[in-house]
Chain A
């Protein structure tokens, strides 16, 4: 490992490792990828993301890209969107997808889970008012159905209405006829997402690197996998 890095870089990696929870090897891999995407520049822009060929067929591509530039996800207590991000921000966003490490307490695991759900929530709440309104939710469904043409447009409305009604029923319970359900707050979101085993399981994208300590010159492979239904 030492052959590839100068000491100051290693120090920054270690700082980042502490901050984000990745291991130094994983950070090294991600940094390589960052450099590849940004064509060896310091900052990454939206166009760089759009240039990734595989991402082109993803129906929620724009939302994913926006998530990287959303300052709420940078853990710096700021809002708004950035035009370009550095490696640290990139890493911070990626850290939402790491699994809980084995030596975490229950509380830390809960915090991590909350952070992940907050990330997901921020993806939906585009105007940053703290609630997912009907329009925003509809936008989500429309994006998902964006490849189905006209059928998608018509039913997106109905699907959104039905989904919203469900959330409102389960989280609020009783509302008078004049009350308006403003939107899904983060607390409601937690409540709604809580019993879904599939959702819970998926929030833990495994990001492990197999480091071959016997072969330091062998470039470690980044392995992203997902298994099973989460029962913790």
Chain B
């Protein structure tokens, strides 16, 4: 299947390769359609001489978009194809396969006699790289990143500098040796080459690391390093380029270089942050035009990148800063669908970009003019490896003094091994001016060799090595509510301890930043009520919504949103000690009065009570015209049967009606059905709301009322999930015959009930 796709794609390319105008025989497929209406214009003048052209071929004016689309289509088909072959994708990482495809396509084009296109630096830096970086920046896990930022910066800045100078310097030494015929390569050129080749490439790292699912710490270290070393690379590149042209270097230049680095890095971040704030601010007002929300995110980010590039600041850092800054505010403002759209568009673009980059790398290898020099290339590869290993080991030794969680040898090995080079190095090399750097071809050859080596050899072997060394993999646990509570608690605890010690440490500043954020920034950038929602509550609502959706999607059947099946339910947790109830002491007569009132009112509320307690079920379930409901909701009854076999249920009360997650979650259901009453306080009322948290008091009220009959089998409802009702796990339930009837009732009740607010007379407490 894939080979056929490849040949097909190859044929397309053959037939429609650029720049040859009329010298090729046009294909008979599809291409002829383009001629139609436009053909008229050209031929109008000759109408008297020639026959009217019914069909004509005019490829030139759609050439550019056509080719671009074709390349993207090729890339996507390749991606598709790889996953159809069962074993291949588990052995060979995708990046390798794509490069091979690129080589083949390049070879095909060469065979035809055309010039294969080379990965132009313009195309690469302006079109292919930004989506990948934006995807990385927008979804950057902030917490691990900030916790390890010191280590990451050390690797990125000091590590890259070390690599550049080590490789450049030693290569110069090698070039000076007799017998290598490399005497023309001077120090500056070598250092420039060193700086190009030393940067770890984010695209390659992402491509390989995504597939091996390594633990979060290592992933963020290597990936963070690959992102942040862009500033260093940019500065070094421009520096050495200038020096190589100028000829000499003074101390002043070195000093200026350091200043330049700071400007580039901080400037990039600043530009990104400004655009991020703008994007967040804009998203505050998009509540009426939800459709274009994702567009703002993309446009502002791209503008940040381009603006940074205008001033030769670090575009990558701008993009990361923009994405990271705007994300918390934008996500609080935009609709759920926009969020999904942004996520999928980013993933789509970055995926296509990555594929295209690797294919083009392959094609460029075939296309480029190479100058192979054994010594130079072999030395480069060896020196890169050695520099990386030495750098990582040395830096880790220093960093471990400041870390609590030391980096073990295994970690160091993975970090060193994961230092892959990629297309950025190639593009930077390609940008070199041929005039100033006559050995550019040799450089390009060496760069490509290093890229191939790292991607193929290191990329392919890293997965078995990870397994062999038993490196910790990513833990798939979901963040639970307990974890969230404890994390927040510990945050505050450690901040408090720091304050008591009188030292302004990490936690103190983080706490200050959070408070500043909450007090001023959130008010500006987040619309309406959402700015006040504390993080714990937001997390909780998100969690329960996720569980509700999961439940609905699984048909309310077997999938349980909990780690372990257990029969623990809310009733096991609620304290049953009578002393804990806040009921006032009642005199006997008062009690009688209450009982009477309850009994009379029970007639009205019988319907509702029925849904909670099978013991009050006295009437025929088909009363009150529920016949129709049942027939309609037959499917739901099946649901009910399945639910009764569930072991555990996380019954959660619904959040306040105007909370952001609820507002976002207006699914297809009738919102009225889930309107929520304000929670009743501890006055014992029999009114048991369908959709509000059950207080132990009302439960006990029901219990008490039914004590004469069968107290131990009282059912308890705690509130309902959003679409399907829930039941407490009751083993005995399953055995009861009436149970089905009750379930049906309850279900029908729940889904047809417009909500407690519709029946006002039951809202008043029964005590006068």
Contact = CB atoms under 8 A, between A and B. Distances in A.
Interface of A: 30, 33, 36-37, 49, 52, 54-55, 57-61, 64, 94, 97, 99, 120, 123, 133-135, 140-141, 144-145, 147-148, 151-152, 154-155, 157-159, 161-170, 172-181, 192-193, 195-199, 201-207, 221-232
Contact of B215 (A177, A206, A231): A231
A173 B655 CA distance: 27
28 contacts: A33-B501, A58-B511, A94-B501, A120-B490, A134-B575, A140-B485, A151-B656, A154-B679, A154-B693, A157-B653, A159-B485, A161-B652, A166-B482, A167-B482, A168-B568, A178-B712, A195-B477, A197-B475, A199-B483, A203-B490, A206-B404, A224-B501, A224-B503, A224-B505, A225-B505, A225-B506, A227-B403, A230-B405
Contacts of B475: 195, 197
Contacts of B630: none
Given A148-B532, A196-B487, A203-B490, 19 more contacts: A36-B502, A64-B496, A135-B580, A141-B536, A151-B533, A159-B481, A159-B536, A161-B570, A161-B718, A162-B544, A166-B480, A174-B568, A177-B569, A181-B572, A195-B477, A226-B147, A227-B150, A228-B151, A229-B144
Interface in B287-339: none
Contacts of B508: 54
Nearest to B411: A231
Contact of A172 (B151, B536, B566, B655): B566
Interface in B605-642: none
Contact of B481 (A120, A162, A178, A223): A162
B648 interface: yes
A157 to B, nearest CB: 6
A231 B405 contact: yes
Contact of A164 (B477, B491, B573): B573
A134 B568 CA distance: 15
B576 A180 contact: yes
Contact of A55 (B496, B506, B544): B496
A170 B563 contact: yes
A94 B501 CA distance: 9
A169 B731 contact: no
B139 interface: no
Nearest to A33: B502
B570 A154 contact: no
A177 B483 contact: no
Nearest to B148: A228
Contact of B653 (A158, A181, A223, A224): A158
Interface in B668-713: 679, 693, 712
Interface string B519-558: 0000000000000111011001001100000000000000
Given A64-B496, A151-B656, A229-B147, A166 B562 contact: yes
Main secondary structure of the interface of B (DSSP, over half): helix
Contacts of B485: 140-141, 144, 159, 163
A176 B731 contact: yes
Q: Which 5 A-B pairs have the closest CB atoms?
A: A228-B405, A224-B505, A54-B499, A64-B496, A158-B653
Contact of A180 (B498, B572, B653, B729): B572
Contacts of B216: 229
Interface in B567-599: 567-576, 580
A55 B215 contact: no
B730 interface: yes
B370 interface: no
Interface of B: 143-144, 147-148, 150-151, 215-217, 402-405, 472, 475, 477, 480-483, 485-503, 505-508, 511, 515, 532-534, 536-537, 540, 543-544, 562-564, 566-576, 580, 648, 650, 652-653, 655-656, 659, 679, 693, 712, 718, 728-732
Contacts of A30: 501
Contact of B652 (A162, A181, A192, A227): A162
Contacts of A166: 480-482, 562, 650
Contact of B537 (A159, A161, A179, A195): A159
A55 B562 contact: no
A100 B216 CA distance: 23
A173 B567 CA distance: 7
Given A159-B537, A175-B567, A230-B404, A198 B572 contact: no
Given A169-B648, A175-B566, A227-B403, A161 B573 contact: yes
Contacts of A204: 404
A22 to B, nearest CB: 12
Nearest to A55: B499
A198 B648 contact: no
Contacts of B730: 177
B461 to A, nearest CB: 24
A227 B730 CA distance: 46
B122 to A, nearest CB: 40
A205 B573 contact: no
A209 B562 CA distance: 45
Contacts of B402: 225, 227
Contacts of A203: 490
A199 B490 contact: yes
B570 A165 contact: yes
B404 A64 contact: no
Contact of B482 (A97, A163, A197, A227): A163
A145 B540 contact: no
A155 B536 CA distance: 10
Contacts of B563: 169-170
Contacts of B540: 155, 158-159, 162
A226 B149 CA distance: 12
Given A181-B573, A230-B405, A169 B564 contact: yes
Given A159-B485, A198-B487, A224-B503, A205 B494 contact: yes
A165 to B, nearest CB: 6
A226 B494 contact: yes
A26 B493 CA distance: 20
A227 B404 contact: yes
Nearest to A61: B496
Q: Which of B491, B493, B655 has the most CB of A within 10 A?
A: B493
A63 to B, nearest CB: 8
B656 A229 contact: no
B532 A151 contact: yes
A196 B489 CA distance: 13
Contacts of A180: 572-573, 575-576
Most A CB contacts (10 A, CB to CB) among B147, B502, B544, B576 go to: B502
Contact of A147 (B215, B534, B562): B534
B494 A202 contact: yes
Contacts of B712: 178
A158 B718 CA distance: 10
A151 B482 contact: no
A62 to B, nearest CB: 10
